[in-house]
Amino acid sequence: MTYMNSPAMKTLLRFGLVADLQYANIEDAYNWNKTKKRYYRSAIGLLGKAMEDWKQNDAKFILQLGDLVDGFCKRTEEPIDCLNRILDIFDKEQWPTLNVVGNHELYNFEKNSLYKSRLFKNLPPSNKAYYTLSPYQGLKVCVLNTYEISVLGELEGTSPYDKAQSFLAERNPNKDTNDPSGLESVDRRFVRFNGAVSKEQLEWLSKELTLATKEKENVIVVGHNPIYLPATDSACLCWNYSEILNILSENCVVCYISGHDHDGGYSVDQNGIHHITMPGAIEHPDSYAVGNLLEDSLVIQGRGDMFEVNCPLRFKLKC
């Protein structure tokens, strides 16, 4: 039963969602293997269209699921100028925007610089880009940083870089560790363009979910990398996806929403958690979504190539 065909039910809250805009001030071009066209400069127009839609739907916040800017930014101009240009569009409205760290941000910025940038202006300077928002009574959003541990965004020769590089080299023997050739099944995730969450972040997430369950809060968890194989290509999985899945098995989690895999995907795991991988706007123009929070469900209404998903809530909400 879809939202469009359901009996009239009050919508308590609406919000916008978009993934992998990958804006750069360059002409459109094909991806690395020449199979799909990428719409770099067109991201400005797409975001403007999406924002008008979100405004008409009275959205209260936006989930921006990472890769807001493309790695090409660094080759053509100062990355901060590229980032500010697209953030200026978001700032035309006064919505809280929950920004997620993606691999393309880290092609342009060192982590410490990114965490202190305008992208995370509402977080303390010491933040590591994982945080929460409670936009409605009975609903919590947990934002993960699936690149807290990665070679991306780290200076070569530093301890964080060396540890991540050693971890990757032990699992991917290819000279180019962006290449998963020879790796099988979920081991294909051990590539340079992925990353992991730290032990500290896992502990933080566990505490947030335990508290949410105690207080009967429904939880949406978001991150750039998918964490459930049926909802993505295995090469896009977070390095320690299984550790995240184990924590998400807490019964307050409604869904996990990600980007990264531009083709998108969807599946429901054995614990009833809906795994939603949004198609990348960089290759699927006009693809974004509107989230609708109802008394007993969360309905994601897609635009463009984004699909519709109806996720039952764990705890019924009060109007």
Q: Are 38 and 285 in contact (CB under 8 A)?
A: no
113: CB partners within 8 A, 6+ apart: none
CA dist list (Å): 167 to 156, 163, 172, 177, 192: 14, 6, 9, 11, 11
pLDDT for residue 264 is more than 60 = yes
- On average, the pLDDT of the chain sits at 95
> If we measure between CA atoms, which residue out of 267, 272, 280 comes closest to residue 309?
267
pLDDT for residue 3 is more than 80 = no
**Residues 132, 43: Cα–Cα separation, whole Å:** 27
* Alpha-carbon dihedral 42, 74, 91, 308, rounded to 10 degrees: 50
User: Across the chain, how many H-helices and E-strands are there?
Assistant: 8, 14
pLDDT at 7: 53
pLDDT at 32: 78
Mean pLDDT over 79-102 rounds to 95
**Residues 305, 286: Cα–Cα separation, whole Å:** 8
DSSP string, 109-130: S-HHHHHTSGGGTTS-TT--S-
pLDDT for residue 47 is more than 50 = yes
The CATH code of the domain at 10-312 is 3.60.21.10
Q: Are 62 and 184 in contact (CB under 8 A)?
A: no
* pLDDT band at residue 8 under the 50/70/90 scheme: low
| Residue 43 falls in which region: left (phi positive, over 0), alpha (psi -120 to 50) or beta | alpha
* Ranges of each domain in the chain: 10-312
Mean pLDDT over 146-171 rounds to 97
pLDDT at 42: 93
Mean pLDDT over 15-37 rounds to 92
pLDDT one-digit tens code per residue, 215-250: 999 999 999 999 999 999 999 999 999 999 999 997
H-state helical runs in the chain: 43-56, 73-76, 79-90, 103-108, 111-115, 159-169, 199-214, 241-248
Q: Are 67 and 104 in contact (CB under 8 A)?
A: yes
